[in-house]
Structure 1
Amino acid sequence: MRRSIVLVVFLLAFQSGIAQIQVNVLKIYEDIARKGYTLEETLERLGDAYYFQKDYKQAYSWYDKLMSNRTYKPKAAYYYRYSEVLQALGRKAEADKALKTFASMVSAQDKASEGKSATKVSGTVKDLQTGEPLSGVALTLLDRRMNVIGTTTTDAKGAYSFDKPVENSAYVYIRGVKKGYEGQEPQVFFTKGDALQYELLLPPNTYKVEEYDDLARLFAIDNIHFNYGSINIRYDASVQLAKVVALMEAHPSVRIDVKVHTDSRADESYAMEQTESQAGAIYKWLLSKGVPSSRLTAKGYGGTQLVNGCEKGVPCSEEEHQANKRVEFIVTSL
């Protein structure tokens, strides 16, 4: 009997090991960017990943594209990081120019920061995918001018605390760096003048993807946007879909089911027809990029699978309705 139980456990573990792939999201982003699929967030993520690794040459290659595109509007922190990268590469004049822009952007917020303070900053650091607390994360607390307020390391429970008060600053930056994870440096605003609690989430370099996982969550795809009443794939949507293609190219055994949903406000038959058309458009786009039809299915569900209680006639906020407008990329086979 005991031998049978051990065998069953072994088989389950073995099967679990098979039904899983390791995905390096950063490499997916690099792959699509080199093919010309970029958005502001793509370049930010790639630049940041190398910046926090102190690989300034690689960071420059992505930050420079971010800064040179006139349609993008980088936040102040990116001018500071860009200046540091340029300085490290010996391009002092360009670094000074970027730093001057950063200082100008921060100075414009001086009035809003007057009198703002926090007695301490504390919280936890967790793995973005698993939610598990992370120990040994190197943390740096910076004020709005990127001056270092303090440094610390998370304990065994992923907890951290900066006890030095923050004064005359409406926000701080909390930098978290750990081997095996993408570094993060979010801008955190104060809501009160007392202690600030913040949970920092670090994306792992490698994600575990299993059957029935939604790739939209892996790639932070909140939706595939279409112009109203249209089924044409917009450029911003093509960048999101390119991530799915890159993953499927890297893992030829993966099959996915595309599910398109909307909210409950439209006429039911129209909503079903529209999501079916959009699912078909996504299906055709993926096929056009070389994904075999044998690895794809796609279907529209109208407003029949809501993620909240916002059914027809129920008062809901616009944000709640928008949560129901989504596209899922469900892994059906590995």
Structure 2
Amino acid sequence: MSLSLTTSYAQCPKGDQAYSLLQYDEAIKAYTKCLNKNADNAYLLDRIGDCYYSLGNTVMAAMYYKRLIADSPDFGSGITKYGDALLRNGQHEDYDRFVDSLIAAHPSNKQYARMKTLPMVTQTESQYEVHLAPFNSQSADFSPAFYGNALVFSSSRSNDKKRDKLTGDNFTDLYFFDTISQSVEQMKLPFSTKYNMGAAAFSKDGKTMYFSANQPEKSLNQTINKVFLKIYESTFSKGTWSEPKLFIYNFELANNTHPAISHKGNLLVFSSDINSSMDLYHCIKEKSGYWSKPVKFPDYINTKTGHEVFPTFLNDSTLIFSSNGIGHPGYGLDMYKTVWNGKKWSFPERLSEPFNGQGDDFGLISADDMLSGWFTSNRESSTGHESIYGFYKRLPIAGKDDKKSIAPLLIITGTVNGGGKPLPGALVSVSYSPGNFMKMISDSLGTFNAQWQHDGEAEVEFEVMKPGYHSEHGKALLKRTADTMFFTFAFDLKPIQEDEEITIKNIYYNYNKWDILPDAASELDKLIIYLASHPSVSIELSSHTDARGDDRYNQILSQKRAESARKYLLDNGIEASRIHAIGYGESKPVNHCTNTVKCSEAAHAENRRTEIKILGL
């Protein structure tokens, strides 16, 4: 049976209209209905395959391309995309058989011969370790950006009922991952966008944000609005972000997206499809403070048929970007590096594995010259959803006789359990000597590891924390072993239980006073960190007095002390609904010092205390 090829617009008008507007999810639905009436229609099979391919769902794309080329092996771009889908799905044997059949049928075809020489992505020995970030969701998570000590990234995880007709997912918003509290929340902005918002970049001082968001546009000869991505700019002042304004240079009737700002803030790079495919452009901030008009990157960086997207700066002269047009066009987004030498950008250099693998890889960031960082990939997704990955570099261990030896290594490994079971996503903070500090995230097995260069023994302080569990703190002396210091330790965090009571040490008050003393303030600061690390926890904050004085007066005094501690927490950003303050007066002593009992001042001070009780999780 031969497939029918009909390109008439009347064939499936709803699908064609959605496809022309890049509403791929809507187009798939419409084309599928049309295909049910004409199962062998090559045009519909090709369009459905293209929709899935554009969404990164290469499993479904391969299924439709396979049907398409079964009886029509010369069917245009479907051949290249089918091959790419097989590779990205890890179906290497199927790919080899497919290419062999093409070459056998068309021995003089150079394109098919080149497909035979495509490099397979294999797992090779690497200096880097890669792990899935613990804050990923079941939806798309992508394009991380540094913002102070936190990460801001784009995600479609919201529960909004509105759907993006391109992807079928929720519209994307910006989310904030607090690396201290390990919590994720939607970034609090005094404005909202109607459609997608994402791919943000921040100036080094954190006071300027560039991001892309959708904006409808209609040309004079169009009757339908097209929703294009545009770049916006917002500034941070007096504790809030300003109403965003369009970046001065957005190409009209085109997508302008993926802004990246250099560390000095004088170079803005972005991607636009003003010339059909996505290309990289840059604007320079002149001495006057105004941006120059966009200049297109040279042709050895921008390709004719591929897309160059998701630029990021490693430093002021090194740019990372992704392309599916360099090397072997059409075979997924790979990350490349180009360096400015003062006169021109260098020829792109492909990043090695594990940064590039099967699927699309993009949006790499690093704040420590590639010792560690983050990037985005859909390498482990069968639906095309992107996830964020973390990486760190394993430093070489120097031998005694190595003339090029580096300082000895401090190697830390360990496990984190929660209630006796492996606990992924726990934050392990380790510090030794002033200025040496590292944070690690336990993986899916609860394990973690890190390394430092060092010059001798080290006393290490560590803290392990995760929302829903009590934190653990401790110290350890790491002993030197030859040129490398090893230390392995394990934690078992206790789950927080409702009705659990915890005494806050060192929160004492002067006699007949309720003022927060300096020592008490430092202890309450720890409680603030605890509550910020466990955003779902609500507490009872109780205060107790000693037995001296009138019982009723002590009840009133203890209530004032509880309210004073509560106010301190509220003043430091903890929500009022999470804290219930109550004074128990002298009714719950911790020792024998009740009425008429003579006690020392130290014994009375033990009863002037503050406790917390977990009310809800």
Compute the TM-score of the two structures, normalised by the length of structure 2. Answer: 0.22
Larger radius of gyration: 2
Structure with the largest fraction of helix? 1
Structure with the largest fraction of strand? 2
- Answer 1 or 2: higher relative contact order, Cα 8 Å, separation at least 6: 1
Compute the TM-score of the two structures, normalised by the length of structure 1. Answer: 0.39
